[in-house]
Amino acid sequence: STTEKPILLNNIADAEAFISGAEVAVIGFFQDPQSPEAEQFRLAAGQVPEVPFGLSSSAAVLSHYGASANTVALFRRVDNDRRDLDMNNRDVDAKKLTRFVRMNELRLVTEYDPVTAIGVMQSSLEFNLLLITDKMSPKHPERMRKFRAAAELYKGKILFILLDSNLKSNERVVSYFQLKKSQLPALAIFHTPDDEHDVLIPDEISVERVQDFCNRFLQ
């Protein structure tokens, strides 16, 4: 995008609108916007184009969010969670900051890979629903559209995860649910505290089918 990153947030209303306008938003709270830490923050912002970065040096904004100076906070809508990173630590640079964002940017539908896996495991949501599917399939965009629509209905309750069956690193997950490639796409729901899970091999992915599967498991 051509917009200057990060966006300057001068007051609480700006900051609140910035956070509510995105699935995942990152704000750097810096007393001195020209500090070396703020410079690293700007570098990281350029490396993660799809996540909005905001910067605030307003005392009112810092106090409203209970943030100390040189703190970066990531806000996510899917489980109403916030993750903080202390930039006062001398070895936090743009690379570490980028990894922090990548690890914690859970979305309505999060694609599972070795980096997001860490954020998924640390999520406050105890229920995960996986769509295990071949991303190269011509039916993939339509399946995703329906899966996302269902995810909207369970915001704050179930974490929706896309698992690409083509990735070598995902084979372990597929075999954990005792699925063969010929049975995909499949839905797998999982309750993290006790490993309780259920699998569904639907003829097609529809919002109603996903809802029915989730509701039965939640009950």
Domains of the chain (ranges, CATH numbers): 7-104 (3.40.30.10), 109-218 (3.40.30.10)
Q: Encode pLDDT of 9-50 as tens digits.
A: 999 999 999 999 999 999 999 999 999 999 999 999 999 999
pLDDT of residue 14: 97
Q: Encode pLDDT of 46-86 as tens digits.
A: 999 999 999 999 999 999 999 999 999 999 999 889 999 99
Q: Encode pLDDT of 76-121 as tens digits.
A: 999 889 999 999 877 889 999 999 999 999 999 999 988 899 889 8
Cα atoms found within 13 Å of the Cα of residue 183, Cβ hemisphere only: 14
Tell me how far apart the alpha carbons of residues 106 and 160 are, in angstroms, rounded to a whole number. Answer: 9
Q: Residue 162, Cα to own-chain centre: how many angstroms? A: 12
- Tokens read off for 165: 């069956």
Tell me how far apart the alpha carbons of residues 29 and 27 are, in angstroms, rounded to a whole number. Answer: 6
207-218 vs 140-153: helix crossing angle, rounded to 10: 40
Average pLDDT of the residues of the chain: 93
